[in-house]
Amino acid sequence: MTFEEEPVAAAEIVRRVEEVRSASLPWLVAEDGSRVLGYAYATPWKVRSGYRFSAEITMYLAPDQAGRGIGSSLYGQLFPMLQARRIHAVMGGIALPNEASVALHEKFGMRKVAHFEAVGFKFDRWIDVGYWQRML
């Protein structure tokens, strides 16, 4: 789920990757040559110490790459990496409706635990966000 409204500069992406890695969490990229097809990463769920075993995951695929198994490949690598880092709870937010993303998250054992109405605004409309969760 991305709520970016403007293209993100390369320097900002580099900063974000470094921030994730400085938290000892993974950022994975699917590429075809020099073209980025998609990415998945984890961030700390919250900053307080008591949440240190929980992470939020994010997935992005280029619009023309959906349905090619790239998301499954990325999540198939991401979940074991999080488990190896002793992450206990994983949450993922999905802008709704999005049947493909719901199916991907549920394929990996995640279940819907929350639904927030009209919390995002993009493309001149309000967007609902659901959260899926899995214990590792």
Asked whether residue 3 is assigned to any structural domain, the reply reads no
Could you tell me if residue 46 is inside a domain? yes
Domain contains 4: no
* CATH classification of the domain holding 84: 3.40.630.30
Confidence category of residue 102, pLDDT binned at 50, 70, 90: very high
pLDDT of residue 45: 96
Q: Into how many domains does the chain fold?
A: 1
Q: What is the pLDDT of residues 30-77, one digit of tens each?
A: 999 999 999 999 999 999 999 999 999 999 999 899 899 999 999 999
Band of residue 132 on the pLDDT scale cut at 50, 70, 90? very high
Look up residue 102 and give its two tokens.
């719901």
- Which range of residues forms the domain containing residue 111? 10-135
Sheet holding 89-96, edge to edge: 27-32, 35-44, 54-61, 89-96, 125-135, 111-122
Asked, for residue 84, whether it belongs to a domain, the answer is: yes
Q: Is residue 5 part of a domain?
A: no
For 11, which DSSP code? Answer: H
Q: pTM here?
A: 0.91
Q: Of 28, 83, 110, 13, which Cα lies nearest the Cα of 61?
A: 28
Q: Is residue 37 part of a domain?
A: yes
Domain assignment of residue 1, yes or no: no
What pLDDT band is residue 1 in, cutting at 50, 70 and 90? low
